[in-house]
Structure 1
Amino acid sequence: MTWATDYAKLIVTTKELDLGKGNEWKETMVVPQEPGNQQPAPQGPAPAFVQNAQARNRVQLRVTRTGSFNIREIIQYLQSTAPGAEYAAHGDIIQLFNIIMCKPPSGGARVTNAGQNRFYPHEGHPGMEKYDLGSGLQALRGYYASVRPAVGRLLLNLNVTSGAFYKPLTLSSLLTEFRGRNNEQSEGFIRMLKVRAEYKKDKEDKPFMVKIKTIVGFARENLSAKPQVRVKRFGNANEVKFQYTDSKMPNAQPRETSVKDYFRIHHGITLQQPGLPVLNVGTRADPQYLPVELCTVLPGQPFNRLLTGDQTSDMLKFAARFPNLNAMSIAGTAQNIGNGQKLFRLRDTPGDPQVQSVQPWGFRIGVDMLTVPGRILEKPRISYAANKLLNTSNGSWNLANVKFHTGGRFGNWQVLVINRRGKNALYEDPRGEMASGEPLFGRLQAELVKYGLKMGQRVRTNTIAVDALTMENRASNNRILEKAFQDANELGVRLMFVIIPDYDRWLYARIKYYGDIDYGIHTINSIGSKLQKVNGQPMYLGNLALKFNIKGGGVNHTVAGTLGKPLDSNTMLMGIDVTHPAPGNSEGAPSIACVVASTDEYITQWPGSIRTQESRKEMVTGLEEMVIERLDLWVKLHKKLPSKIILYRDGVSEGQYDQVLLQELPSFYKAFEKKYGAEKNWPKVAVIVVGKRHHTRFYPTSQKDADYNAQRSKGSWNPLPGTIVDRHISGRIVREFWLQAHQGLQGTARPAHYVVLKDDVVFQADELETFTHNMCYLFNRATKAVSICPPAYYADLLCERGRYYLHSTLNENHDGASSAGFDANENWTGGVHPRLAESTWYI
């Protein structure tokens, strides 16, 4: 009999188990101890602490038969031509297939399962690939596998993935490399990390005892201890004391000792670094103290918190690879098996078509990549003022010698220069003298006018200096920033061009908060070194002009015929997204839900509604009110309600499709009842889910279909912009397609996945695909096609802006004692300043 398990709740076997009466089997089992943990059994009755440990190592098991499945039934279902054919157990059997496929890496040595069928070979595994991220972290290359139903067959999706992991160093070395700002930050970094503690007596090489422990934190006061012993927060081995009773001595009385003395007297270990903070590897209520110097970090532990900016850049360098490299990692070559196929034991030797790991289950898997038909959609032409048309090349174009379709308009505007005290990061010549930025600001203004913007008066430039951008200086820097916005508001400034010394997330967040929430002033940021760089300055100023124009209510460019049949100029496009707290964010931090909607026939202005809601809830709370806000603005601008609404829903997984229809769509209907009245007057609605975080990739089969210029020997080898696939890998129930509208400049391009959940508009397949493709050329702040269509993209951007409104809560790690609740000073719960609410302020 062959078996597999998900190591959580399910076991699948090739034969029925004899579970006895009632199809259920119960047993009490003892969990095996880690090697080296075994100690001689005590003579006589076991002490209480030994009895407690034995009780913790016993678990109650209950195995219940849930059903049996036949592979032939799902194949017949997938091959059925009957439109109403159903197979109620198809979800269960797909889950079982995934369990079977993941058995080899799940049970393999030196492989970490990071969840969602992602497996990473780590130290000691021949397939390990790593990259140093610094500060105690490394990137590992892993593989993702998922069985997918398609028309007439089942497919295995195997893809390369990357993740951040702790380095398997001694714990003291890890903390040294991490360089925490304080003990609290270091505690957050190592909290819940598993370590191997080796107990070695002085002058002995081999440990007499080994324990695997999970770090709860550093030592802290335990008020529930009986009897109470005061423990210094972050105390070291000399300072942390506790009471214990020596079980080897009859009638022994509780005595107090330090961690250092306990390890010396009871274990014969003289600590070499007693000044380090002591770890708690028990619980908050029942602490167990362990010195840092005994511990080594176990390999293959994922880092699930926020990376720093430099670490994110390094991760992208590691993860972004040419498509052919990823293809070879997965499938290999004629001479070598790919690491992906090795990991899942799909082949044993090169050229062997047999699948070794699944043969006992009665099926086989083809090991060659699947060839599917695709096509490349026609490139749209871009229109500017005076009907000037531009052709695109590889999904991009430039702004040379054009005026925006409609110029934006501003009142007073101002340049705010932010320098650092003691050093001017923007205009410092070799002699240390500050050069004037006014000529550059005048050149920017001239460029904006050249593109057709109608600029009001530029009031005097304001130059301020902030202290070093550290946690300690935030309060004083905050006051300096707020004063700059107060002054600008008194001068009637409606747009502020802010020049910052370098990118800092906190500084950016505060600028956006004061501008968007408190004072209603549009803000556009620029790093001084980039602004004054001579090479490429016209292009850089042009990119800034895109943002200026949109914030001023203008139209950058149009794509003719985008709202063609079956749509018209009375069609509203909407996007919805929800962003959630990341691991390491403040406990109780909220999620943020956003709804954006177009307001004009050019599909260029996208005001939105933004709210906080229950933590980690994906379906939008208060959606009815947000839809009404969008409809009211449409009526204000058009004097009538839209007749069609096309919704692109971002961020939902396949398992949540039904929730969109059952929970979110009714909120639209309630809004329609209030605004349209009788159901016969309601608009026609289409609901399309946009998927970004999936593992489907396409590799061109010929050079002519690849992004590669043979004459220049340059290109990414990705599919060409406009590549679409809508057959052979799609399911049999819902309409879906994969569209790569953009040019994949870095790494392997990821196509956007579109799934149609509802279509009252009755799109033809080509109509919807072409419409979606054309929209990808209408993104406001770029002169190139983007990877996902603007409704989803803008909803995602607005969610990201909301995270900056709650920067400390949602953009910083809070793993230590400070994570008891989100920052009370960040009390924003939704909305923006009324002066900005009807604009696309978040671009």
Structure 2
Amino acid sequence: MSGPVATIVGAQPSNPTQPILRPDFGGLGDRIKLRSNRFKVACPTKGFFFRYDVDITVEKKAREGGKGDGKPNRAPRGGEGDAPRISKPVKRKIWKAYVAATLKPVFGDSMPVFDGEKILYTAKEAKMASKDGHTATVTVPKDPDGSEVVATVTVKPCNPSAVSWAVLGESMKDHSKKFPIEVFGCINTVFREAAMATETNIAAGRSIYFRDPNYTFGLGWGRETWPGIYSSARPCQWGITLNLDVANTAFYKKMNVVEFLREFIGGKLPFARPGEQPPPYRPAPTQLNDFQRKSFDSEMRTLKVEMRHGPTGVRRQRVTGVANATAASHKFENKGKMVTVADYFKNEYKIVLKYPNLPLLQIGSGKTMMPMEVCELMSQKVPRKLNEDQTAIMVRKCAQPAPDREVRINKLRKDSSRVNYDKNVFLDAFGIKVASEMVAFDGRILPAPTMSAGGPKGDLSVKRMDGTWEARNVPFKDPKLLKHWVFVNLCDPAMLNDDEPLDVFLSEFIGVGRQRGMDISKPSMAPRASNNPDFIKMFQQERAKNKDLQLIMVAIPRRGPQYADIKKAGDVEVGIVTQVVLGQKIEDHWNKRIMNQYVSNVMLKINAKLGGINTEVKEISPNNAILKRFVDKPTIIFGADVTHPSPGEKAKPSVAAVVASYNKSFTKYVARVRAQGARQEIMDTLKDMIRDLLIEFKNLCGNREPQRIIFYRDGVSEGQYFHVMVEELSAIQKACMELVPDGSYKPPITYIVVGKRHNTRLFAANPRTDAVGKAGNVPPGTTTDTAICHYLEFDWFTCSHFGIQGTSRPAHYNVLYDDSKYTADEIQLFSYYLTYVYARCNRSVSIPAPVYYAHHVAFRARAHLEEPFGNDTATVTSGSSGPALDVQALNRRIKVHENVKGMYFA
């Protein structure tokens, strides 16, 4: 974690290194009593703790389970050839064996803690006879796979070794002091060791998980949820707090691989109504087609399985693939004869395979072929993204109203069976104590804005309790005409025919549009097509019929692969605005009120896509004393996001997206998007995107350059704040220099990170009077920049949206750079009001609209990159350690057509 950086005036590329201070605290808004899932942590304020470097080597023969050559393996983080990666579970076993053998002579009565990679911490200095440290060889007893691990562990003092506990207090008092990252590294490692003291806990990042029948339930496809505990020591204005939260993640069920295949191929979880027996899964398949095999191969790669058929007992290994060979067909040499795998198991183990025609699993190095039915899938964390159905089940099952979540977190704090925070050998050794109650403090509810629409009743009041406003029958602020459009019906006639349901929908669509000020004509009806037509050809034909075509609306049965094809054809290939509607929605919405609501939501998107404005925040004007500095000069708002491939996805790029405003109310945006290296967080093409968007602003705003730049960045982890900001700030400055080459263009820049990937929650201390909705969340606008916020950084939390389901997650804002020197009230209120200009709904959302839009642009680009199964977006370079991405080719595929202007992504 790094502090924010010093203000640097001008557009010259710079290298900011000094932290800026929080300018002041916000005072705007009504007071509200809050609690947060933070618990005060008391640490020593005097004395020292000690750091040591840990090096672990393992003999090759021990890891391979064979004779080997006795050479050590020194690859704690992975390697090639003779240095395969030492897994974290193996490292932990080696470490525990080392501590058991050396605790008294080396560490005395001080319990050491290990971060699992390279660093060891002790509360007292270790006893080492040599400056070169202490070395010991340990043997980890035989695992279920029959192997024995012989390892050499070397512990050496770091330089410096002793770290003063007092540096945290000194840093808080003297803001010029460097942030004491070593202190938090030690504290978090101690908490991790305390959590792992319970053997059944499984660590994943800063969370631990465990199987609990009360909170474990099936997700289908051979997966289930496990509950867990997230914990992290956080610096704040009170010193240190422990951020404690409930966690949930997906694990594979422990089951035979054939049973897993049956669930995987069978798909959805067989639901039943209360009191009814769930329908059984379809029988296990006896053979797979090529598509099924490839799908299962993608799922099984890297997963761990157990085998129990051999004389050595249980063996555990990873799957490297699903072969295109079966037990009945694949032969290998055994005792001088060629035999099939099926015959081998029958002769050697007296096992007659029930599924000899199923593909074999490739195990370990890939040379060993194993029948699925003799392998059992181990319980292990799912490393891949859940599908939409699984995600929906997870959200529905895991979402808890805020009061219930608060109760559960307090129970986790006091449940000594999982983590004993009150009596733990590691916490006691380091003198760390955790408070038993959540922190309580005062927050503020920022005032809700007034929304400005069109017509004589143009001012719309926002309901403070849920952040919504009533806009039915009220014209849009800037409605657009829709005279030339086409309707394409891809739904089966049994779902959506061309008579009553469709007539009702189109009549309602035209009527609602006219109520909102849009003059909408009847559409041209395209001939009914198959459910998977050539969209590019279809759209080109419709464009040829009418050169003034504004919109193609396509009705599909439900969201699926068709969506990506439609957007790719419209956005990239043909250059026409598209709107997808769901036939299921149209068919189900016979209720006049519900149909009106669905049509109204679609209308919001279409008016924005056509260049209109739905509503504006009235307070964003020069007449507002707090917000006038955002509009007294031409100001551009950027929203930026980088999305990465899902876990388990290979040969796919990260996608960087930036949107930029170009009107005074910050309701209209243009976008740029680029592909870049997989999992690369810094946007290496940011300069070009910013320059293009500055040119767009200049062209759309009377040939004027923006005189202020505010850059909202999403998706940056705390450990990357400083590094990402320095690189991207330089890119913004260089773009300004290229816009006006003589160097005279030096607009002030404000760089803000907006985070949602955190575990801080806010609870109303008086839920009867202050909580809102069935979920009992804090009201929209609830803000705090005290207590739980950083003691140095210019950060705050705002919960700007109404939590309908589960506990609301506030957005965490961190101003890392600010030439404009905004006060806390100014930037907090402006950021909050930007959550009200999101065009797709009549309510506030959880993050500022430009950040949301950047997210949409990036994911739309992912739709543009989608291809039929089995086609990769990358080229494998011979001799490389992985696939090489042809970024230029990828960017050609996601480049939006020049005829598609404005907010195609709305």
Measured at CA, do residues 550 and 373 of structure 1 come closer, stay the same or move farther in structure 2, by a change above 3 Å?
same
CA distance in 2, matches of 1:605, 1:217: 48
Q: Out of 161, 178, 188, which is 2:264 matched to?
A: 178
Measured at CA, do residues 154 and 678 of structure 1 come closer, stay the same or move farther in structure 2, by a change above 3 Å?
farther
Q: Which residue of 2 aligns with 1:437?
A: 502
Q: Which residue of 1 aligns with 2:404?
A: 325
1:212 aligns with 2:284: no
Q: Is the 8 A contact 1:195 1:297 kept in 2?
A: yes
Q: Out of 604, 610, 621, which is 1:546 matched to?
A: 604
Deviation at 1:14, TM superposition (A): 2.6
Q: Which residue of 2 aligns with 1:351?
A: none
Measured at CA, do residues 260 and 107 of structure 1 come closer, stay the same or move farther in structure 2, by a change above 3 Å?
farther
Q: Which residue of 1 aligns with 2:787?
A: 728
CA distance in 2, matches of 1:25, 1:809: 56
Q: Which residue of 1 aligns with 2:339?
A: 257
CA distance in 2, matches of 1:435, 1:408: 28
AA aligned opposite 1:114: A
Q: Aligned ranges for residues 448-463 of structure 1 at < 5 Å?
A: 448-455=513-520, 458-463=522-527
Q: Provide, for residues 373-412 of structure 1, a one-character-per-residue CA deviation record: whole Å limited to 9, x for no partner.
A: 2110111111111462111122001222311111124452
AA aligned opposite 1:779: Y
Q: Out of 17, 26, 29, which is 2:126 matched to?
A: 17
CA distance in 2, matches of 1:385, 1:810: 47
Give the fraction of aligned pairs with identical amino acids, expressed as a percent: 27
Q: Provide, for residues 214-270 of structure 1, a one-character-per-residue CA deviation record: whole Å limited to 9, x for no partner.
A: 111223xxxxxxxxxxxxx2322x32222245xxxxxxxx44333233334444544
Deviation at 1:319, TM superposition (A): 2.1
Measured at CA, do residues 495 and 32 of structure 1 come closer, stay the same or move farther in structure 2, by a change above 3 Å?
farther
Deviation at 1:518, TM superposition (A): 0.9
CA distance in 1, matches of 2:477, 2:643: 33
Q: Which residue of 1 aligns with 2:15?
A: none
AA aligned opposite 2:674: R
Q: Which residue of 2 aligns with 1:400?
A: 472
Q: Which residue of 1 aligns with 2:757?
A: 693
CA distance in 1, matches of 2:733, 2:405: 45
Q: Which residue of 2 aligns with 1:486?
A: 540
1:108 aligns with 2:205: no
Q: Is the 8 A contact 1:610 1:799 kept in 2?
A: yes
Q: Which residue of 2 aligns with 1:634?
A: 697
Q: Is the 8 A contact 2:300 2:322 kept in 1?
A: no
Q: Which residue of 1 aligns with 2:488?
A: 416
CA distance in 1, matches of 2:316, 2:455: 72
Tell me, what secondary structure is at the counterpart of 1:16?
Answer: coil
Deviation at 1:156, TM superposition (A): 0.5
Structure-1-length-normalised TM-score: 0.84
Q: Is the 8 A contact 1:723 1:740 kept in 2?
A: yes
Q: Which residue of 2 aligns with 1:343?
A: 418
Deviation at 1:96, TM superposition (A): 1.6
Q: Which residue of 2 aligns with 1:33?
A: 142
Q: Which residue of 2 aligns with 1:290?
A: 370
Q: Which residue of 1 aligns with 2:161?
A: 68
AA aligned opposite 1:451: R
Q: Is the 8 A contact 2:491 2:555 kept in 1?
A: yes
CA distance in 2, matches of 1:152, 1:741: 25
- Runs of 5+ unmatched residues, structure 2: 1-109, 267-290, 622-626, 877-881
1:280 aligns with 2:357: no
CA distance in 2, matches of 1:272, 1:33: 32
1:496 aligns with 2:496: no
Judge which range, 290-299 or 738-747, deviates more. Answer: 290-299
Tell me, what secondary structure is at the counterpart of 1:23?
Answer: coil
CA distance in 1, matches of 2:630, 2:215: 50
CA distance in 2, matches of 1:813, 1:136: 26
Tell me, what secondary structure is at the counterpart of 2:255?
Answer: coil
Deviation at 1:31, TM superposition (A): 4.6
Measured at CA, do residues 823 and 37 of structure 1 come closer, stay the same or move farther in structure 2, by a change above 3 Å?
same
Total equivalences in the alignment: 751
Q: Is the 8 A contact 2:307 2:316 kept in 1?
A: yes
Measured at CA, do residues 340 and 329 of structure 1 come closer, stay the same or move farther in structure 2, by a change above 3 Å?
farther
1:85 aligns with 2:163: no
Measured at CA, do residues 721 and 327 of structure 1 come closer, stay the same or move farther in structure 2, by a change above 3 Å?
same
Q: Which residue of 1 aligns with 2:800?
A: 741
Q: Aligned ranges for residues 499-514 of structure 1 at < 5 Å?
A: 499-514=554-569
Deviation at 1:436, TM superposition (A): 7.0
Q: Provide, for residues 739-760 of structure 1, a one-character-per-residue CA deviation record: whole Å limited to 9, x for no partner.
A: 0011011100000000000111
CA distance in 2, matches of 1:340, 1:462: 63
CA distance in 2, matches of 1:164, 1:340: 23
Tell me, what secondary structure is at the counterpart of 2:549?
Answer: strand
Tell me, what secondary structure is at the counterpart of 1:494?
Answer: coil
Q: Out of 199, 202, 217, which is 2:309 matched to?
A: 199
Tell me, what secondary structure is at the counterpart of 1:584?
Answer: coil
Deviation at 1:810, TM superposition (A): 11
Q: Is the 8 A contact 1:806 1:826 kept in 2?
A: yes
CA distance in 1, matches of 2:209, 2:858: 31
Q: Which residue of 1 aligns with 2:854?
A: 795
Q: Provide, for residues 305-350 of structure 1, a one-character-per-residue CA deviation record: whole Å limited to 9, x for no partner.
A: 2322211110111221111222222212xxxx65776422214xxx
Deviation at 1:512, TM superposition (A): 0.5
AA aligned opposite 2:854: A
Deviation at 1:441, TM superposition (A): 1.7
CA distance in 1, matches of 2:830, 2:417: 42
Q: Tell which has more relative contact order, 1 or 2 (C-alpha 8 A, sep 6+).
A: 2
- Runs of 5+ unmatched residues, structure 1: 39-53, 201-206, 220-232, 246-253, 348-353, 429-433, 468-476, 709-713
Measured at CA, do residues 199 and 620 of structure 1 come closer, stay the same or move farther in structure 2, by a change above 3 Å?
same
Deviation at 1:355, TM superposition (A): 6.3
CA distance in 2, matches of 1:810, 1:685: 44
Q: Provide, for residues 86-128 of structure 1, a one-character-per-residue CA deviation record: whole Å limited to 9, x for no partner.
A: 35xx11221121111011333432222222x111102xxx586
Q: Out of 452, 457, 466, which is 1:383 matched to?
A: 452
Measured at CA, do residues 321 and 574 of structure 1 come closer, stay the same or move farther in structure 2, by a change above 3 Å?
same
Q: Out of 136, 141, 144, which is 2:227 matched to?
A: 141
1:306 aligns with 2:395: no
CA distance in 1, matches of 2:153, 2:756: 40
CA distance in 2, matches of 1:659, 1:511: 38
Deviation at 1:414, TM superposition (A): 1.3
Q: Is the 8 A contact 2:229 2:247 kept in 1?
A: yes
Q: Out of 92, 106, 112, which is 1:3 matched to?
A: 112
Tell me, what secondary structure is at the counterpart of 2:405?
Answer: helix
Q: Is the 8 A contact 1:399 1:542 kept in 2?
A: no
Q: Is the 8 A contact 2:413 2:436 kept in 1?
A: no
Q: Is the 8 A contact 2:557 2:583 kept in 1?
A: yes
AA aligned opposite 2:265: R
1:562 aligns with 2:612: no
Q: Is the 8 A contact 1:409 1:554 kept in 2?
A: no
Measured at CA, do residues 680 and 151 of structure 1 come closer, stay the same or move farther in structure 2, by a change above 3 Å?
farther
CA distance in 1, matches of 2:325, 2:414: 44
CA distance in 1, matches of 2:373, 2:710: 60
Q: Out of 648, 651, 674, which is 1:588 matched to?
A: 651
Q: Which residue of 1 aligns with 2:326?
A: 235
Q: Out of 496, 500, 503, which is 1:426 matched to?
A: 496
RMSD: 2.8
Measured at CA, do residues 19 and 215 of structure 1 come closer, stay the same or move farther in structure 2, by a change above 3 Å?
farther
AA aligned opposite 1:314: I
AA aligned opposite 2:789: S
Runs of 4+ in 1 over 6 A off after TM superposition: 809-815, 819-827
Q: Which residue of 2 aligns with 1:471?
A: none
Q: Is the 8 A contact 1:418 1:498 kept in 2?
A: no
CA distance in 1, matches of 2:863, 2:320: 30
Q: Is the 8 A contact 1:306 1:812 kept in 2?
A: no
1:164 aligns with 2:250: yes
Q: Is the 8 A contact 1:4 1:11 kept in 2?
A: yes
1:531 aligns with 2:586: yes
CA distance in 2, matches of 1:216, 1:17: 43
Structure-2-length-normalised TM-score: 0.78
Measured at CA, do residues 234 and 6 of structure 1 come closer, stay the same or move farther in structure 2, by a change above 3 Å?
farther
Tell me, what secondary structure is at the counterpart of 1:278?
Answer: strand
Q: Is the 8 A contact 2:865 2:893 kept in 1?
A: no
